[in-house]
Structure 1
Amino acid sequence: MHLDNNTNSEGQKREYCSNGASRGGAKIIKTFSSRNTTQNLGNNRFNNTSNIGAYENNPLIKSGRVSLDKTYNSRTNSKFNNMIPTTYETRDISIVFEEDRQNAKHYDMLEETDDDIIVTGTNCDTPICFKTWEDMELDPRLMENIKKSGYIKPRRIQAFSFPLITAGYDIKGQAETGSGKTAAFLLPIIDKMLKLKFVSMRRTPYALVITPTRELALQIHEQAKKFCLNTPYECAKLYGQLEKSSLNRELDGGCDILIGTPGKLKDFTKNLQINFSKLAFVVIDEADRLLEFNFANDVNEIINSPLCTPISKRQNLLFFATITKELERYSMDWMRKEVATIKNKRENEVNNKIHHNIINVQGLSKNKLVVDLLIDEQKQAEESDLSLRKTLVFVERKKVCNILALMLMNYGIKSASLNGDRLQKDREKAINEFRSGQITVLVATDVAARGIDIFDLDHVIVVDLPKDDFMTYVHRVGRTGRLKKGTATTFYNPETDYDFKDNLIEMLQNLGQDVPDFLQQ
């Protein structure tokens, strides 16, 4: 461990703990320069006038290399002059396949890094585990799509869940972030549809997937479309902030697998616009997050609707990152009595592929520190003819999210913001730009903290620790280290984050990483 103390232009002390290697395996000790980023860019001095001026003089914007969209101001219920870079493209499935193939090079190490699985609640003493795709005897069309994705072998949760789902069990599945749980439920569902020769009917899904966020719905929809390629089946997505005509076209285009958020699904169910009488599967994904967002009543209305296949006549699959007493209670109402439980041996722990850096930010401007850190890193990358690594920055407040993205753009770092105040189309644009590499930094609130899979995400910066909720932190840093090793940089202020100290110390010790001195004081 290296502890580096610096003093900035205002006489404030900075402590930075670097626990290990950067790219290329060399140990890098970072020091933050005391540059004055701008008088207008402090946390309390950034105003609309300076935003406009910064953007008018930004060479990136003058060059036409970014497009701009106004951001919604929740205080005035109007558009104001904060500009956030966005572009919008519907991702072609070929892009998703290509991302998967590029990820395939990391699959050899998954046998070591995937957590051990514990299976309970079945009648067999030794759970069946399919270690190869051939063991699953998949439909050839589905097998072809798996090969096109470059998937060498099943992840552990896939290997254990597939035989249980095909045997007809209800499933409660708990797995670490990035473990492959989306494919764990999609593959057996699609395989069963193909083998039963399910006949599609208008607005009559065979499987319903309920998710807490639009971003996660979009991601699962992409994966479902990928696996359904060259089959008779279509996938549809249903969520808010889209015109009703667009949603109707989506459903009429085919919804054998329907993925949606609770509010919009409830509306369409109440208005008799979807026929759930043929449902064979209900998947509740990120179920713990659904409860945090107070969606339990909406879920109840959907899956217990008299027009929906009864719980006893269908399979119910519940997936989550964190098990709670509340979730256990609701699961009794959402599932049959015969339930198999699949969970990590190391329950609710941080991904072991993540290397952690903790920074003491007491008395510092956190926004300015993010800018300094990324400017320094970009300069180091350029000196080696490299690009700034893809970085996801988490902040607590929506306004700070937009401001920080603007600050980074003003210093030539291609960035965008993602938060609940942004229009859905703009949220989709930001994610697509980040995925494609058109921007290298995405500044986000917790709307992006769960389930979102960003190809080749190397670095997560947690600017604001969540209040009294360590598992939210786990989900934030879990955006990196999904298939390969990643880095998480965490800002820690002993005055406001003291309650997190013991959790951070325990996390670092469990991962075998050095604990900085300022955490042990």
Structure 2
Amino acid sequence: MLFTELNLSAPILKAVSEEGYTTPTPVQAQAIPFILDGRDMLAGAQTGTGKTAGFTLPMLEILSRNHHTKGPRHVRVLILTPTRELAAQVGESVKTYGKYLPFKSTVIFGGVGIQPQITTLRNGVDILIATPGRLLDHVSQGTVDLRHVEMLILDEADRMLDMGFVKDIRRVIAILPQKRQNLLFSATYSDEIKKLCESILRNPAVVEVARRNTSSELVTQRVILVDCARKSALFGHLVKENKWEQVLVFTRTKHQANKLSEYLQKIGIASAAIHGNKSQAARTKALSDFKEGKVKILVATDIAARGLDIDQLPHVVNLELPNIAEDYVHRIGRTGRAGNEGEAISLVCVDEYDYLKGIEKLINRKLDRDIVAGFEPDPDIPAMPIVQGRGGGGGRGNSQRPQGAKPQGAKPQGSRREPQKRDGSSHRSEGRSNDSRRGR
């Protein structure tokens, strides 16, 4: 199948062609016809499958077919995303594919001044891409009008629920027109996602281009066993030994992200860290430098890295395993994208064995274990619990265990972290203290 067979108009096809695309990805080929037919849709697609264009192209086509040249502009399409980075990237896709169309779009998220956003909204936009918290800031101030929304798109809905946005999403839905088209995209499935789907989707078409909760088959996955205290040194060794030029590294905490980046700089490896404590300008610059090759290593927490769009990223490394197995799938989904092969390596210490078992159960496969000469793990070191929360340490990390400490089991895999918002908005959900919302 070609894009020319998907009933898209000439201006959209021209923009697609100029990006070098002729053949749609599986999610695009399946989703676009359903969306053009006006169906609600639930799409199960991992990052890197082309899902953004999968909803952007038909959304633009529908707007074109029903374009009104007279009267003021109203928000006709609302796209909600969990993070600033993803919102910005969706906004870029809308501009890229809609450059020959007369529609105006804008992106609003927290962490930046609200006044320029208010000015843009007052001038009128057709397409609004937003993070939930900042959108509700505008709603509370009366600076956005959502009474004319014809299409609601929830991108990476699973991550929004993980981050504690479910109440915000329901508040937004409550003020939208009841007659609208709803599209929900999620890389993983949970009971919360099913409940959300049941409450907003009407007789939805279901598109699924990968097995549920599975990792990409284009990604080579392996585990390297190592002591916790030697992870940074091992990672630096791997970068130099293998002459890696572009690696995205995940840590559980902001503290550990900073610590690893500083260590790499000391041993002569250009790196940058992105996480919730970094300003939006710093995060944008770090990502830009990484894409341009000015830094080899980008160290990120799960929240900050969600939605990063990096073409042909060859390596993803988990310096620390996530405490929620589904996050592993999201992490390694940064590589092996759009038909390209990739490699995902996890540096695992004894503290994380329970997490590793949970990941293997989720992806239904046992990962190969390797040991690097000179970095063999000490079999006499017992497991210590990995402390989650606001301390920033996340357990031992790269610090050595105190002598004489008694072994304890790791935190159970099934436990969930306290939901947290990470779009930088001032909006707060009811009933949560600020302290409980600090984290990675």
CA contact (8 A) 2:325 2:362 kept: no
Is contact 1:203–1:251 with CA below 8 Å preserved after alignment? no
Counterpart mapping for 1:73-84 below 5 A:
none
Corresponding letter in the other structure for 2:42: K
Tell me, yes or no, if structure 1 residue 283 matches structure 2 residue 148: no
- The alpha carbon displacement at 1:193 in A equals 1.2
Are 1:178 and 1:478, in contact at CA under 8 Å, matched by a contact in 2?
yes
Q: TM-score, normalised by structure 2?
A: 0.80
1:465–1:497: 8 Å Cα contact kept in structure 2? no
The secondary structure found in structure 1 opposite 2:350 is coil
The equivalent residue for 1:377 is 242
CA–CA distance in 2 between the matches of 1:456 and 1:345? 19
For residues 283 and 108 of structure 2, what CA distance do their matches in structure 1 show? 16
Specify the alignment match of 2:211 in structure 1: 346
Using the size of structure 1 for normalisation, the TM-score is 0.68
Quick one: structure 1 residues 516 and 434, their matched pair in 2 at CA, closer, same or farther if it must change by over 3 Å?
closer
Counterpart in 2 of 1:260? 130
Change (3 A) 1:369 1:250: farther
Cα displacement (A) at 1:508: 8.3
Name 1:217's counterpart in structure 2: 87
CA contact (8 A) 1:508 1:514 kept: no
Verify the 8 A CA contact 2:46 2:210 in the aligned structure 1.
no
CA distance in 2, matches of 1:242, 1:499: 36
1:434 aligns with 2:290: yes
**Could you tell me how far apart the structure 2 residues matched to 1:244 and 1:448 are?**
21
**1:151 match:** 21
Q: Secondary structure at the match of 2:352?
A: coil
Shift of 1:376: 2.6
CA gap of 1:226–1:280, structure 2 versus 1, over 3 A, is same
* Residue in structure 2 matched with residue 320 of structure 1 by the alignment: 186
CA distance in 2, matches of 1:362, 1:498: 15
- Name the residue aligned to 1:302: 172
What is the rounded CA distance, in whole Å, between the counterparts of 1:444 and 1:201 in structure 2?
45
Confirm or deny: 8 A CA contact 1:221 1:259 kept in the other structure: yes
Aligned residue number for residue 327 of structure 2 = 472
Q: For residues 162 and 470 of structure 1, what CA distance do their matches in structure 2 show?
A: 31
Displacement of 1:363 in angstroms is: 5.3
Mapped contact 2:85–2:306 kept (Cα < 8 A):
no
CA distance in 1, matches of 2:101, 2:76: 14
CA shift for structure 1 position 270: 2.3
Q: Residues of 2 paired with 1:345 and 1:215: CA distance? A: 24
Does the 8 Å CA contact 1:236/1:254 hold for their aligned counterparts?
Answer: no
Distance in 2 separating the partners of 1:282 and 1:200: 23
- The residue identity in structure 2 corresponding to 1:463 is L
CA distance in 1, matches of 2:309, 2:276: 18
Which amino acid in structure 2 is aligned with residue 315 of structure 1?
Q
Separation (CA, whole Å) in 2 of partners of 1:200 and 1:435: 42
Query: Following TM superposition, by how much is the alpha carbon of 1:205 offset from its aligned partner in structure 2, in angstroms?
Result: 1.2
Cα deviation 1:65-109 (Å, max 9, x = unaligned):
xxxxxxxxxxxxxxxxxxxxxxxxxxxxxxxxxxxxxxxxxxxxx
Q: Deviations over 1:137-171 (max 9, x none)?
A: 21111000000111121111111111111111100
Letter in 1 for 2:325: F
For residues 353 and 256 of structure 2, the distance between their equivalents in structure 1, rounded to whole angstroms, comes to 18
Q: Deviations over 1:41-80 (max 9, x none)?
A: xxxxxxxxxxxxxxxxxxxxxxxxxxxxxxxxxxxxxxxx
Q: Which moved more, 1:240-249 or 1:221-230?
A: 240-249
Counterpart AA for 1:335 = L
The offset of 1:333, in angstroms, is 2.0
Which one of 399, 403, 415 corresponds to residue 271 of structure 2? 415
Partner of 1:362: 227
Q: Could you say which residue in structure 2 is the equivalent of 1:232? A: 102
Deviation at 1:340, TM superposition (A): 1.3
- Cα pair distance change 1:460/1:183, threshold 3 Å: same
Kindly name which structure, 1 or 2, has the bigger radius of gyration based on alpha carbons: 1
- CA spacing shift, 1:503–1:301, aligned 2, 3 Å: closer
Deviations 1:398-440 (A, max 9, x none): 1111121122122222211000111122111111221222222
* 1:345 CA displacement: 5.2
CA deviation after TM superposition for structure 1 residue 357, in Å: 2.9
Deviation by residue 1:153-200 (Cα, 9 ceiling, x = unmatched): 111111111111111110011112311111111111101111222448
AA paired with 2:13? M
Checking the alignment, whether the CA contact within 8 Å between 2:46 and 2:330 is kept in structure 1 is: no
Answer yes or no: is the 8 Å Cα contact 1:505–1:515 preserved in 2.
no
> Is contact 1:202–1:252 with CA below 8 Å preserved after alignment?
no
Q: What value does the CA root-mean-square deviation take over the aligned residues?
A: 2.3
Distance 1:460 1:200, change over 3 A: farther
Name the CA distance, whole Å, in 1 between partners of 2:262 and 2:70: 47
The answer as to 2:326 corresponding to 1:461 is: no
2:343 equivalent to 1:487: yes
- The reply on whether 1:181 has 2:51 as its aligned counterpart is yes
Q: 1:398 aligns with which of 251, 254, 260?
A: 254
Amino acid at match of 2:126: D
- The answer for the alignment partner of 1:126 in structure 2 is none
**How many residue pairs align between the two structures?**
373
| Offset, 1:462 | 0.2
Aligned runs of 1:167-206 on 2, under 5 Å?
167-199=37-69, 204-206=74-76
**What is the match of residue 30 of structure 2?**
160
Stretches of structure 1 that go unaligned for 5 or more consecutive residues are 1-130, 379-387
> What is the 5 A alignment of 1:31-110?
none
- The 1:449–1:351 alpha-carbon spacing in structure 2 relative to 1, beyond 3 Å, is farther
- Cα gap change, 1:199/1:210 in structure 2, threshold over 3 Å: closer, same or farther? farther
